[in-house]
Copies of this chain bind each other. A is one copy, B any other.
Amino acid sequence: MDEDFIFDRATHVEGTSDGAWRAEIGPEWNIFGVPNGGYLATVGLAGLARLVPHPDLLSVSASYPTKTEPGQVVIRAETLKIGKRVSTGIARVEQDGEPRVHLTAMYTDLSLARGPTHLENGPPAIPSPEACVRAEGTVAAEFVRNFDMWLTPESAGWATGRPSGRAEMSGWVRFVDGRPPDPASMPLFADCLPPAIFNLIQPAWTPTLELTVHVRTRPAPGWLQVRFTTRHLQVGYFEEDGEIWDERGTLVALSRQLAQART
């Protein structure tokens, strides 16, 4: 991609002499002072993607054993299998010699997918972007500035002290500089809205323990329609399930994360 775009600069990797990659984690992806987990996954994958012959991210599971700080990271990637249709590999994002993020990912050529289709639901029923509320930085001003992000009025309730009481966060999102969405950016989009449980409990940092994203198709250029929900908050642990649809109304990705609410 074109390094005129913010996201491509932010996921730029530079080869090192020992077969690893170096990247720079900028503070503009911080949430509550900590780099966004979805963004960190896209940086690690930028290394792994160079080792596989398939163009499209199909699936990634990211774990975050230790907090990453803004600054330099080293990415060590390895393929486990280069298959005809699917390749699998792992990548480790290290800082100060310690693993901070561990990724397992599969790549394929999504344009060659074949098989039956049966969808129980379409894109979320949400008002047009003009009828939504602009997500502006409250706790994550710098992060949000990378996007053009609009939340449904109900979803945005928490920001003005009127949480909806339903753990749902829905709306429209795209990169602020017009970069089209693609499979590689899906882990970031899957983790870019405020947590859905902000409409249920007092907003606070909710560390992601594990994030999985399954990419289903290459998105059309334009807006993404997104919907994140938490149905099971139990003794502090909760899942956040995401659906990402493109502007045409085609399902692009499903995500799930396991996170913790400490309040």
Contacts and interface: CB of A to CB of B under 8 A. Distances in A.
A1 interface: no
Interface in A45-79: 58-59, 61, 63, 65-66
Interface stretch (A141-149, A152-160, A185-193, A229-237): A229-237
Contacts of A210: 59, 61, 104, 106, 212, 214
B80 A113 contact: no
B81 A66 contact: yes
A99 interface: yes
A116 B201 contact: yes
B115 A237 contact: yes
A200 interface: yes
B86 A234 contact: no
The DSSP consensus for interface residues of chain A is strand
B118 A233 contact: yes
Nearest to A201: B116
B256 A119 contact: no
Interface string A180-218: 000000000000000000001100000001101010110
Interface of A: 58-59, 61, 63, 65-66, 80-81, 83, 86, 88, 90, 92, 98-99, 102, 104, 106, 113-121, 167, 200-201, 209-210, 212, 214, 216-217, 231-237, 239, 251, 254, 256, 258, 260-263
Given A61-B104, A113-B237, A232-B251, 10 more contacts: A59-B210, A65-B88, A80-B92, A88-B102, A106-B210, A115-B236, A120-B167, A120-B232, A216-B235, A254-B256
